[in-house]
Structure 1
């Protein structure tokens, strides 16, 4: 279990190092970044962060020209959000019970955690965030 926590923490720290991998330079100092995300607000935050970092690399300031968010999934957005919220809760509760279960609910909690993580992964990233920007 400790190895799993160490692996997850390491992955989170290393992913924080990828600053502007999704930025696509364009003509006339107009660039864009496209992010696929599981959450609308987190996708916007990540896109703006990458654009800002890209401009800071050239000692510039990022100016947003246009920002769009598209939901691209076959199930309605409301249903997606409800299912995702429930699955995140089950995964989180299962994780805590797996860790703190003291032998009584470990197996059930492990199954709930793994099944929840699998479901979250299978739901994909239905939000496509595009930010057009320039550096001034």
Structure 2
């Protein structure tokens, strides 16, 4: 077996191993049977859905079902919450508008659309995930 084949095999194995462990990376098992999952997200709805998905995956591996004890959502962003929400909406709109203009416009419009879309993506990245959603649950 040559070095390239060996490296490719190792990379493939590492990728499969990582993917196998990736369905509930934010779950923290509790010694008392009460587990918790903490998700950083753009909004509380998205964070709640992801926390529920990971908790269900965690319990399913144990042939059980997740029973939720409580949920706590908290804004943790660098800006005040209203500014964060407004800026997130503006960055998403810039990405959509820029992408559409890039694809559908002429040469000049495409360049401008690309710049607007990229600016929206950069702004979205800078704003990051403003919310933490924490859920506590038991597997039953």
TM-score by length of 1: 0.84
- Residue 80 of structure 2 is matched in structure 1 by 76
Q: Please name the residue that 1:122 is paired with.
A: 126
For the structure 1 residues 78 and 28, does the alpha-carbon distance in structure 2 shift closer, same or farther, using more than 3 Å as the test?
same
Deviations 1:18-70 (CA, angstroms, capped at 9, x unpaired): 31111111112111011111111101110111001110111101011111001
How do 1:1-136 and structure 2 match up within 5 A?
18-136=22-140
Q: Within 2, Cα distance between the matches of 1:53 and 1:66?
A: 18
Q: How many residues align?
A: 121
- 1:87 shift after superposition: 1.4
- The structural deviation recorded for 1:110 is 0.6
Structure with bigger gyration radius: 2
Q: In terms of mean alpha carbon deviation, does 25-34 or 98-107 score higher?
A: 98-107
Unaligned runs of 5+ in 2: 1-18
| Structure 2 match to 1:9 | none
Which aligned segments of 4 or more residues in structure 1 are displaced greater than 6 angstroms?
none
SS in 2 for 1:28: coil
1: CA distance between counterparts of 2:99 and 2:45?
25
CA RMSD across the alignment: 1.5
Partner Cα separation in structure 2 for residue 44 and residue 116 of structure 1: 25
How far apart, in 1, do the equivalents of 2:78 and 2:90 lie? 19
Using the alignment, how far apart are the partners of 1:63 and 1:111 within structure 2? Answer: 47
